[in-house]
Structure 1
């Protein structure tokens, strides 16, 4: 598929305010998309290249992007920044610069969705010595062959700011509509696979393929979030019999274990294992199952009083990249486990609360 086709759909979506109309646009586009490109295309529609839990990331910041645009167009980074200050969006700035520089490449190659996605992968996998130069090289190759409109959406994707008003939930609804499958079935598959591209590809095959998607250790399950209610009486009236637990002012942690390997994911499904060695140690000691996924809440503790500390203190630990051992001493955690979603090959999410307990 030509990348220009995706860019045209991006443009339609950007200037379509209605969510229902956006769903229709995406649904029709997915119907026309061949199975071999559907997985990648569905990811790109959400503005993502990799799912949140994947440790790969493009690793291109604004400064490196401006240098690349400058390299391709000859416009100095300082001028790019001035244009950005006026325009407010690097995608629009890139499009305008390239329109002025129509003749900047004599022999362009037409970009395909597959080529763009593959190039993003090469950018993400550029590590170590000389990695910045490699990232510039791969991105410059894309921009050199892109039309102004294509370049607009490529640079937005690189910075994670697609700005077309499309989130994963909207693509989920469009998948259900495109392939005439109950949105609840699509939603469940998405909760388990946690990869909108895999879900889209399975949905094109049919309902049975979606129902075959199962929980896998080290692929975090999308969390169920609480709904607000005016009071307890309202909850009991709505649900009938109910169980209650203490709500801690902590951070959600989803702990995955397989053999000796343990990974921890945040509420936003990011891998936070490196920042939380104390929870890894606790899990390794306390969990006897060989394979398990458990849900819990971790709370920062004031060592002087034994009382919970503010939520902001927890985030200091989660975001820490350096001096993790020092931060662990200053802000110790206590972790409370409240659910088991998978254990030794058995999914438990469809069991009722008492059975899981």
Structure 2
């Protein structure tokens, strides 16, 4: 067992240690091995004395669940343009074309995988020597990236990261930014390795930071928490099946009724006195709905529904 870390040591955990875990996970064939890697990383990097800092790592492992940081405003196309600017290469250069055409042949053998295409381009410029960034420094840089308004500002943050990382670290940073790590391990498994009660607590709070703070001792079980009005709750989703035949088999020959499905937005409405929230399925609070909807909701309530418009102007259903 590794020696326990002190809080000061926890703040200096290298991002490269996390990247090494990611790389190993992509090679592991079984979920059990991947889970073991995560447990080893958490014990080695944070130990008993560094537990207060678990959130700094888990927000990078589960980036799609992190609500403390705002949106980066960078899907693959915008990220490609910002990278071209960050690298200072001409827009019509072969590497710039490869980045902007990452979905098609411009990406070569890695076409269709943005992070691998970008890593190919970066490797020719960065090499493999790590700059030694800590997880804290990475999070600070990502905070600056999300706070940047213009593409030039975002390119400046990316340029700084490129100078302080190697191509492998930058590849994983880009995957964190687009929130798609492709680790081959479920969110459920990650939560369970962190703490046996982590998934249950997240499902009723949708707050990763709170989960990390409350459950920083894996040996202590957490009393099941009730749903709170005003705190987003993870919505239940239907099981995904590949085709209609698979869905039909699940019904075991029972009679069914089919009805027209209107397409709208999944919304969770929380009202408590004057306080009202409209949470999306990704736990974002859409305050812009308040003026149009709040007057129709009189009672204190927590309801999970699909929200869509209906009116004469659009001859019925308005998506």
Give the structure-1-normalised TM-score: 0.65
Determine if contact 1:69/1:75 at 8 Å carries over to the other structure: no
Query: 2:43, 2:57 → 1: CA distance?
Result: 12
1:62-141 to 2 correspondences below 5 Å = 62-78=76-92, 79-82=95-98, 84=102, 85-86=107-108, 87-88=110-111, 89-102=113-126, 109-127=131-149, 131-141=150-160
SS where residue 274 of structure 1 aligns? helix
Pairing 1:173–2:192 present? yes
In structure 2, distance between residues paired with 1:68 and 1:188: 38
Measured against aligned partners, the alpha-carbon deviations of 1:2-35 in whole angstroms (never above 9, x if no partner) come to: 0111111111122334222222221221222322
> Alignment partner of 2:73: what SS?
coil
2:32 maps to what in 1? 20
Note the residue ranges of structure 1 that are not aligned, 5 or more in a row.
Answer: 177-182, 234-245, 305-325, 334-357
Partners of 1:73 and 1:97 within 8 A in 2 = no
After superposition, residues 313-328 of structure 1 pair within 5 angstroms as none
Q: Secondary structure at the match of 2:74?
A: coil
Tell me which residue corresponds to 1:297: 305
Give CA deviations for 1:243-272 in whole Å, capped at 9, x if unaligned: xxx998675431123443322123343434
Quick one: structure 1 residues 212 and 300, their matched pair in 2 at CA, closer, same or farther if it must change by over 3 Å?
closer
**Contact map agreement 2:59 2:65 (CA 8 A) in 1:** yes
Cα offsets for 1:208-240 (capped at 9, x unmatched): 57338664544311124467863698xxxxxxx
Q: Deviations over 1:54-75 (max 9, x none)?
A: 6821112334423443344344
Deviations 1:61-101 (A, max 9, x none): 33442344334434434423326332222322332233322
Q: Distance in 1 between matches of 2:308 and 2:205?
A: 31
Contact 1:23 1:174 in 2 (8 A): yes
Distance 1:252 1:220 in 2: 13
Q: Given that residues 218 and 263 in structure 1 are in contact (C-alpha distance below 8 angstroms), is that contact kept between their aligned partners in structure 2?
A: yes
More divergent stretch after superposition (143-152 vs 76-85): 76-85
Preserved contact between residue 230 and residue 270 of structure 2 (Cα < 8 Å): yes
Aligned-pair Cα RMSD in Å: 3.7
User: Which one of the candidate residues 189, 194, 200 is aligned to 2:206?
Assistant: 194
- Using a 3 Å threshold, how does the CA distance of structure 1 residues 256 and 103 change in structure 2: closer, same or farther? same
Q: How does 1:224-243 map to 2 (within 5 A)?
A: 224-225=236-237, 230=251
Structure 2, gaps ≥5 residues long: 1-12, 240-246
Match of 1:48 among 64, 71, 82: 64
CA gap 1:171/1:6 in 2 versus in 1, 3 angstroms: same
- Counterpart Cα distance in 1 of 2:231 and 2:148: 24
What does residue 204 of structure 1 align with? 216
Cα distance change of structure 1 residues 2 and 77 upon mapping to structure 2, 3 Å threshold: farther
Aligned residues: 280
1:271 has 2:254 as partner: no
Runs (4+) of structure 1 exceeding 6 A deviation are none
Aligned to 2:267: 253
User: Which of 142, 155, 161 does residue 174 from structure 2 map onto?
Assistant: 155
1:221 aligns to what?
A: 233
Change (3 A) 1:41 1:197: farther
Between 165-174 and 218-227, report the one with greater CA deviation: 218-227
